[in-house]
Structure 1
Amino acid sequence: MRLWIVLIALMAGVGGCATPVAVVRPGSVPVAAAAPATPPPPVDPGALAAKLAAIQPQWPRSRYPVPPGKRHIDCGRIKCVALTYDDGPGEHTGQLLDILAGRGVRATFFVIGRMVAEGDGPHNLRRMVTEGHEIGNHTWSHAQLTALSEAGIRGELSRTQGVVHHVTGRWMTLMRPPYGATGKRVAAVARDRGLAQILWDVDTKDWRDRDSLIVTRRASTAPPGSVVLMHDIHPTTIEAAPHVLDQLAARGYTFVTVSELYGGKLAPGEEYGEDREPVRR
């Protein structure tokens, strides 16, 4: 774990991953419990100041990554698709960014705050910004938000907003509720935080079927205007990425971010995406 976790420990205490326990909406299938993440080891408070002083010269808050110019794409006239990746950044995210960069493709990454604070998280996020990708909020610990109090929902989203802003200098305007679990309280907090709720149109189920051929087939058959759900933490999804890009490009698709797909007209708190069934894990 890099020294960035020290910054996050100062901003807010690091918490464990919540386990989803509730039915997300009437008539739906209960979300399966997720294995809790191992919390980071405690840090000696007396060493924090020295470590922070060592970090600051390397990453001055005034030196944020600079994104490329804004693109003007009319997805009402051309065939667009928005590829989205959840649960990172992880150990395979850099490889995915290499693949996307090699083809000049922009995607949207819904990141987990804890993952941003660990490993190569800060480097990957800064690279996402400089290469034109969009970053969305996927909570701090991948907790099922509908099982939390309003204060808990607010904490999960606010802590991730804070760490991403600290790393990139940018405030996120999108969020994706883990497991697709949302409701009135989640919408209210998202609205208050200026976050539109992005679900999906095509679920590749790459978290369940760790097979690059299956992932490629599901993603590459997406209809125009789709938001495609994948996860950059699975090696098989990374393996599928070049084939997904090639097949969609052969069908004449333009790859866009979620905000570009919707023409920048996304209202905070509102839900976007046709497939509203919860992700079952």
Structure 2
Amino acid sequence: MHLLFICSAALLLFLPASALSRGIVDHGHWNELRDLTHNASHDDSQAKSSPPLVIDTFKNPTRNDLGFWHGSGENLTVRHGPGYVRLFPTDPDQNFHTQFDSNACYSMIPWRNEYLHVIFEGTDQYSVSFNQHNDECNPKRRPFPGIADSVQAERYVVHPASEAFAEDDFAEDDNWDCADNVHADAGRKKHKHRKSKGGRRKHSQGNTKIPTGRRELYIPLAHFDIDFNRVVSVSFHGFYTHEPVTLYHVEVVPDVPMPSPENGHYRVPRKLPNGKLVLRCSRPNSFAFGIDDGQPQYSQQVMRILDEEGVRVTFFVVGAGLRDPTSNFTEFYKEMLKKGHQVAFHSNTHPKMESLPTLAEIDDEIIQSMQIFREQLGIESSYFRPPFGTVASRLRQEIARHIPNPSIVNWSVDVEDWLWADTSTPEKQLEAFFRSVEKGGNLAVMHYLHPTTIGYLPEFIRHVKSAGYQIMRIDQCLGDVSAPPL
């Protein structure tokens, strides 16, 4: 029997404020409008020699040092103490945000050539992101946050002298080696962050040996590819072990420590290539449907609706479905390609890829997808939708290793079929869709897993048309020069 691959939009890192507020007890949620006197505007006259920009020292359980909200999302368990917050992750979608503002874009242009400095204790198996506001700097508009860029924390850790590495272990570049089945904390790469004398540290999921004592990260802000005129928060997420991490201090500083024996001759690594995260269409008045895999018995009905409505969409396809001859998915997607639809990657077996313990396992999901696309459909793609919408630095880096200039596509319109399609109130899918479009979303996620969702598809399409949008493929709505003309 063909396996069903279901993307749960509830697990996306960038969620509506109501979802991000989950896991916060008696706290305001992250885009709550606050009547604070803090002025978030800055000008370029600030000199580089100015004091550090202290973002968070965790003295208050609900607000950071800038006077704005900080807190957890996706049911991340947190424990506040005097001058720290301890995170107990169980899922890579869980996150902790500390905001620069609650209602407006925050300009970090004066600090764009400086460094994010984090003092922490515990695991370094997580991602750090800078999050950009949407175009309107309005938290009530979709998407919110607008976009993010992430780096892998362990690459930027300052190792104390007790963990010092021999100079011979420094690589001259950041080329990737070919070791297999290694834990992602060390990465399958040679970078200036160094390998240990005894080879890469190997850990097993949930049983990681964590260094004791406080450690530091120094991350160049230039390593975050966002618009620094529109910053909204810094966040910690993408946890791929269940080991806790304690945050003590988050700030922006002008310099990093000079290499010395005491800091293991620390050198900041270079920024690794990174897939671009996409949440909305950029072409004016455009709208795109990203349709993920579904049940084979509904495929012809989907094809007929798209033909009748005269629209083209993007299908994100799980490789395992193409390998299953009983699904007839290969023939279906070949036909959709002939009709002018876009077909793109959605992993090989649909795991939450950021939770996989090794980079080798992440790579396998990507490579197997690429292989089956070539063999069964005769195509390549540079577009990828992560299963469950879960994305952080490791997945973005690995995608970029295998696919030139990849686009990692999530969404700003959620049909919420995963939540309502198989309930007594399936019409809530329509409500969710209309609500997202009204708030400015223009890139949708849906599936063809349930007859109710497929039954609403014509209404989705007609609503978008009546709102003045032109429906097209995702590559077209992003202005991709390699996309076919409209």
User: Does the TM-score normalized on the shorter chain lie above 0.5?
Assistant: yes
For residues 139-183 of structure 1, what are the alpha-carbon distances to aligned partners after superposition, in whole Å with 9 as ceiling and x for unaligned? 111101111111111111211121122222110111111112111
Query: Aligned partners of 1:131 and 1:220: how far apart in 2?
Result: 28
Aligned counterpart, 1:85 = 291
For residues 216-271 of structure 1, what are the alpha-carbon distances to aligned partners after superposition, in whole Å with 9 as ceiling and x for unaligned? 333245156611111122222111111111222222221111111110179xxxxx
1:204 aligns with 2:426: no
Query: Aligned partners of 1:192 and 1:173: how far apart in 2?
Result: 12
Q: Does the CA contact (< 8 Å) of 1:110 and 1:175 recur in 2?
A: yes
For residues 105-152 of structure 1, what are the alpha-carbon distances to aligned partners after superposition, in whole Å with 9 as ceiling and x for unaligned? 111111111112221111111011011111121111110111111111
Q: Does the CA contact (< 8 Å) of 2:413 and 2:441 recur in 1?
A: no
3-state SS in 1 of match to 2:316? strand
Q: Does the CA contact (< 8 Å) of 1:80 and 1:255 recur in 2?
A: yes
1:94 aligns with 2:300: yes
Identity of matched residues, %:
23
Aligned counterpart, 1:182 = 391
Q: Where in structure 2 are there 5+ consecutive unaligned residues?
A: 12-89, 98-236, 239-280
For residues 76-110 of structure 1, what are the alpha-carbon distances to aligned partners after superposition, in whole Å with 9 as ceiling and x for unaligned? 44x21101111346321221111001121111111
Q: Does the CA contact (< 8 Å) of 1:89 and 1:124 recur in 2?
A: no
Aligned counterpart, 2:458 = 242
Aligned counterpart, 2:469 = 253
Q: Which amino acid aligns with 1:201?
A: S
For residues 2-60 of structure 1, what are the alpha-carbon distances to aligned partners after superposition, in whole Å with 9 as ceiling and x for unaligned? 9xxxxxxxxxxxxxx9xx963335338x99xxxxxxxxxxxxxxxxxxxxxxxxxxxxx
1:217 aligns with 2:434: no
Aligned counterpart, 1:23 = 92
Describe how 1:40-189 pairs up with structure 2 within 5 A: 76-77=283-284, 79-88=285-294, 90-118=296-324, 119-148=327-356, 149-189=358-398
> Structure 1: which 4+ aligned runs deviate by more than 3 Å?
74-77
Which of structures 1 and 2 has the larger relative contact order (alpha carbons within 8 angstroms, sep 6+)?
Answer: 1
- Greater percentage in helix: 1
Larger radius of gyration: 2
Q: Which amino acid aligns with 1:136?
A: A
Q: Does the CA contact (< 8 Å) of 1:85 and 1:109 recur in 2?
A: yes
Describe how 1:3-22 pairs up with structure 2 within 5 A: 22=91
- Greater percentage in strand: 2
Which of 382, 402, 427 is equivalent to 1:193?
Answer: 402
CA 1:114–1:258 in 2, change beyond 3 Å: closer, same or farther? same
Query: Aligned partners of 1:225 and 1:264: how far apart in 2?
Result: 19
Q: Does the CA contact (< 8 Å) of 1:204 and 1:229 recur in 2?
A: yes
Shift of 1:212: 4.7
Query: Aligned partners of 1:265 and 1:234: how far apart in 2?
Result: 35
CA 1:76–1:227 in 2, change beyond 3 Å: closer, same or farther? closer
Q: Which amino acid aligns with 1:196?
A: S
Q: Where in structure 1 are there 5+ consecutive unaligned residues?
A: 3-16, 32-73, 267-281
3-state SS in 2 of match to 1:92? helix
Q: Does the CA contact (< 8 Å) of 2:286 and 2:469 recur in 1?
A: yes
Aligned counterpart, 1:233 = 449
Q: Does the CA contact (< 8 Å) of 2:291 and 2:447 recur in 1?
A: yes
Query: Aligned partners of 1:161 and 1:233: how far apart in 2?
Result: 24
CA 1:212–1:108 in 2, change beyond 3 Å: closer, same or farther? farther
Bigger CA drift: 249-258 or 223-232?
223-232
TM-score, scaled relative to structure 2: 0.39
CA 1:138–1:89 in 2, change beyond 3 Å: closer, same or farther? farther
Bigger CA drift: 145-154 or 82-91?
82-91
Aligned counterpart, 1:263 = 479
Query: CA RMSD of the aligned region, Å?
Result: 2.8
CA 1:230–1:217 in 2, change beyond 3 Å: closer, same or farther? same
Q: Does the CA contact (< 8 Å) of 1:88 and 1:111 recur in 2?
A: no
Q: Does the CA contact (< 8 Å) of 2:354 and 2:395 recur in 1?
A: yes
Query: Aligned partners of 1:26 and 1:75: how far apart in 2?
Result: 27
Query: Aligned partners of 2:305 and 2:385: how far apart in 1?
Result: 24
3-state SS in 2 of match to 1:171? coil
3-state SS in 2 of match to 1:109? strand
Query: Aligned partners of 1:97 and 1:220: how far apart in 2?
Result: 23
CA 1:244–1:197 in 2, change beyond 3 Å: closer, same or farther? same
Q: Which amino acid aligns with 1:116?
A: L
CA 1:104–1:247 in 2, change beyond 3 Å: closer, same or farther? same
Q: Which amino acid aligns with 2:93?
A: V
